[in-house]
Amino acid sequence: MEGKENDFLEKVLNLARRGEGGEKENAIRLLKKICARRDLNFDDVMRGTGEKEFSIECQKSFSKLLLHVIYRYGLLRYSDKVHANYNYTRVFFTTTPDKYAEVCTAFEILRRRYKTEKKLFADLFADAFYQKHDLFYQPTAEEWKKINEEKKDEKISKAEQRRHEISTLMSRGMESVEIYKQLELH
């Protein structure tokens, strides 16, 4: 979560602790909302002291992401105080309340981004797979001529061009499968 979202909670905490006027009031109001959502004591978060054990429940498919977020945002030092239940749907860790709030905020933001990017790459992967294995209708010369005439005034958007470039690069990294050879082997 490099970039703007990376330090979001840290900035809110700093403004709540050391800000002035309306900035400080807005930061405190936002921090109180975050604390209420996470069932945290606002004063503990403001002090940022006193390690406690916290846990976060998540779908098993997001447990690895959650562990990475905890190690990146929640721990003051490397710790063996991170563990999960037997099926990785609840992760336990020891940290301060402010770091816990930071983990929760980062995990929410990254989980949404992960879902979006995973879908994007699944679509790109499918495009690359179809491209690699020529799973397209192969038009005849006459059909190509007609297609080119119909689309000669159409412009491809930069996003579509970029998507095609990415799927082409992905397809180059895939193993080539000669379908007829594979049929012979089975």
Q: Is the pLDDT of residue 6 over 60?
A: no
Contact 162, 124 (CB under 8 A): no
Domain ranges of the chain: 125-185
Element (H, E) at 56: strand 52-57
How confident is the prediction for the chain on average, in pLDDT? 78
Structure tokens at 111: 């989980």
Give 102-125 as a 3 state SS string. HHHHHHHHHHHHHHHHHHHHHHHH
User: Is the model's pLDDT at 3 over the cut of 50?
Assistant: no
Task: Write out pLDDT tens, residues 125-154.
Answer: 888 888 877 776 666 778 777 877 877 777
pLDDT at 43 over 70: yes
Give the residue-averaged pLDDT of 72-81.
70
Q: What percent of the chain has pLDDT over 70?
A: 82
